[in-house]
Amino acid sequence: MRDLRRTYVAHTGVLRRSRKLVDAVQGITFDVEAGELFGLLGPNGAGKTTTIKMLITLLLPSGGSARVLGHDVVTDPRAVRRRVGYVFGGDRGLYDRLSAWDNLRYFAELYGVPPREQRARIGELVEKVGLTGRERERVEGFSRGMRQRLHIARGMLHRPDVLFLDEPTIGIDPVGARELRATVAELVAGGTTVVLTTHYMFEADQLCDRIAVIAGGRIVASGTPTELKRLAVGGRVVEIDVFGAADDRLSAVRAVPGVQTVTVEVRGAAQVLAVRTDAADVTPEVLRCLDGLPLGRVANREPTLEDAYIELVGSV
Amino acid sequence: MSLLRLVWVGYVMQVRLRSRSAFDGALSIIWPLFFATTAFLVVRQSGDSDALVATAVGASVMGVWSSTSTTSASSMQQERRLGTLELLVAAPAPFALVMIPLTLAMATIGAYSMAATLIWGRVLFGIDVPIASPAVMAVAVPITVASVGMLGFLLSMASVRYRNAWALGNATEYPIWLICGFLVPLSALPGWVHPISWALAPTWGVEAIRAASTGGSPWPDLARCLALGVAYAAVGAILARVVLRSARQHASLALS
């Protein structure tokens, strides 16, 4: 993908119509290796889904170029479609009034699965995603987790070389999400290339070989999860549970030499301070700033991907 | 062969999908009955039994068109809402062959109301529609239904490109009843309307069914109906490529 761009045109007004251009993707460049699990991270509206939709030929790029398995997404969309699968999160994307089996049968036909193989392939996938025994039921009675698993089965019907997963675990319970992650890991182990977008940092950390962080339609950083953690944060993080810290106390913490950033998350009555430092241990100085306030847990830890993400996205 | 299979499987799935709601099914049958009843009451005043039979046949085809026109356009919006429109486009199958079964399914469901209208006319108004040649009728009805389905296919292309084009289906429902001579003879319409009527397959389809019922030769009308149906399919297939590219350009495949 080279300098890929996408601009949307939005119209406002009825009598005096005005045209507004929205640059959703502003020159993205990256490569995904065969067999790799590549993650796209970014806040809502960062351009992740737009990028994926251009790669699976649902949107035409406004500029730049992209090739999937050597096929240009603009000039050779049919060839791209034959070899990619697309799964998105949420309740949509299935025919509720049809059974799971009929949904898969219909899409098997649309995706060119040879008729003789369809029955066996659908049976195999139904079993793989844990829907055996429920496949003849209408989808309208399915839970969100079951729908999501059915989505995965649909996306894999034609054995795509590249599978695009757009927030596949959104809204499903932890057990369902874990099973889904296991399925994705299994796919990658089997040689499928996966491009994943997600908001869940631990998911990206656990699954992805490499990650690109997108913000404001641009890639702000890319690398392995470990590289990203180092790139954005470096050093260490001191996490302190404190009660009733006013702004002046927080300013004092920010002013401690070696402190890079301080983020505050309110959890019930407590404030959780995440103090990022440039490697030096500043815990005693920070605690001195909070002297007299009730404290809870004080912990030193390695920076997480979430720390890195917040810093990268926050700096845009 | 595989393309025919694609159309067949798509057709079966779409009929299954769209005939599973009892409310939708009942509505598609009951809705045209109200209009048929009005027509029967008006034409009965003339005392012309031939006109009453012609009206009964025309009213029965009304349901086929109503089902096709309103739902072929709105079904695109429904696919968009379900998030399946993007998946249909993202499939490697030619988009036209994905859409044709959908509108054919609509026309088939509309054919239920065809039977319902004829039974309604017979039971409540004593209109006995003769079938001079059941075999010819068995050919005329499917060809008419299929051609109406192709007209719906052409219409549905606008809905792929424009999110609000579903209104087009409703807008064309009643004019077609009139222009195609379902309820009034074409001779009663102004001369400038005739070329439009001739370009519409339902005009010839309903005439062919009337001929099959009264013992006339339906073949010339049926041939025109079929030719127009094939032409709609061909134009629709070309249009599908253009419309799809435009929809990808303007990002109109999804709701947002």
pTM for the complete prediction? 0.85
pLDDT score recorded for residue A279: 65
Of B90, B93, B249, the CB nearest to A60: B249
Q: Does B85 touch chain A (CB under 8 A)?
A: no
Per the CB < 8 Å rule, is A106 touching B91?
Answer: no
Higher pLDDT: B32 or A97? It is A97
How high is the ipTM of this complex? 0.86
- pLDDT above 90 covers a percentage of chain B that reads 41
Which of B18, B86, B160 best tests the A interface by mutation, with the highest count of A CBs <10 A? B86
Using the predicted structure, report yes or no on whether residue A315 has a pLDDT greater than 70: no
pLDDT one-digit tens code per residue, A210-244: 999 999 999 999 999 988 887 755 678 889 999 99
- Exposed, middle or buried by CB within 10 Å (0-12, 13-18, 19+), for A128? middle
B248 vs A contacts (CB less than 8 Å): 57-60
Residues of A with CB below 8 A from B2's CB?
A: 112, 115
- Give residue A233's pLDDT: 58
Please judge whether B82 and A95 are an interchain contact, meaning their C-beta atoms are less than 8 angstroms apart.
yes
Band of pLDDT at residue A316, cut at 50, 70 and 90? low
Of A94, A98, A109, the CB nearest to B6: A109
Q: From the list B2, B5, B84, which residue is nearest A95 (CB)?
A: B84
Residue B38 above 70 pLDDT? yes
Partners of residue A112 in chain B, C-beta under 8 Å: 2, 92-93
Residues in chain A with CB shorter than 8 Å from the CB of B84 are 92-95
Task: Say if B139 is an interface residue toward chain A (CB within 8 Å).
Answer: no
pLDDT of residue B1 exceeding 60, the answer is no
Select the residue from B13, B20, B243 to test the A interface by mutation, using most A Cβ atoms within 10 A. B13
Q: Which pLDDT score is estimated for B163?
A: 78
Q: Closest Cα of chain A to B20: distance in Å?
A: 7
The per-residue DSSP string of chain B comes to -HHHHHHHHHHHHHHHHHT--HHHHHHHHHHHHHHHHHHHHHHHTTT-HHHHHHHHHHHHHHHHHHHHHHHHHHHHHHHHHHTHHHHHHHSSS-HHHHHHHHHHHHHHHHHHHHHHHHHHHHHHH------S-HHHHHHHHHHHHHHHHHHHHHHHHHHHH-TTTHHHHHHHHHHHHHHTTSSS-GGGS-GGGHHHHHT-HHHHHHHHHHHHHHTS--HHHHHHHHHHHHHHHHHHHHHHHHHHHHHHHHT-SS--
Interface test with B, best of A69, A86, A95 (most B CBs within 10 A): A95
